Amino acid sequence: MSDVGTASSTYKQVVPFDRVHQDALRWMISRFDEADMQYQLVGGAAARVHGATRPIHDLDFYVPAGCLDTVRETVEPYVTYGPVRQHGEVWRLSYLKARYLSVVVEVADASSTSYFARKRGMWKEAQIDFENSTVCSIGDVTAKVMPAAQLVAYKRAIDREVDRIDLKQMRVK
């Protein structure tokens, strides 16, 4: 991997995902680009970009406030759920699920997302800064990814087993 600083983000080249996730990533990002929509790749796929090695199971994205309806219109034939507001044990967010090939793609409204910081026993707003995304070349796809420091902070706060695995594989102490 190589990092090269740019004016507002870092550029990183990483190994592509497996074929089906790579195809789904290319498909979803092309939908964001066609709609001229900001987005950020997050979750396990972002951890993979920043050094985790566990297999990814889905692709998670944040989009700005008010964009979920546009996302739904853009990927309508593939939507399997939502948009809906969810209040779970870990996440409070408005999101939708789509399936492309065999990959689940989840897209959430960043402005309405909060997570439960287990160690502090409190809810925290996600506070996504789309302008601060890390721009990555993932195989043949250029993607805007959650910055490593922010990803590490929320994975530490949420502290699920999968988060601890990601942090260990990302070599975070």
Q: What is the pLDDT of residues 98-147, one digit of tens each?
A: 999 999 999 999 999 999 999 899 999 999 999 999 999 999 999 999 99
Tally the domains of the chain: 1
Separation CA 124–CA 127 (nearest Å): 9
Q: What token pair was written down for 108?
A: 């959430």
Whether 172 is covered by a domain: the verdict is: no
CATH number at residue 88: 3.30.460.40
Joined together, the tokens standing for residue 168 give: 């260990």
DSSP assignment, residue 89? S
Tens digits of residue pLDDT in 157-171: 999 999 999 999 998
Question: Phi-psi bin for 64: left (phi > 0), alpha (psi -120 to 50), beta?
Answer: beta
- The answer to whether residue 135 sits within a structural domain is yes
**What is the span of the domain harbouring residue 122?**
2-166
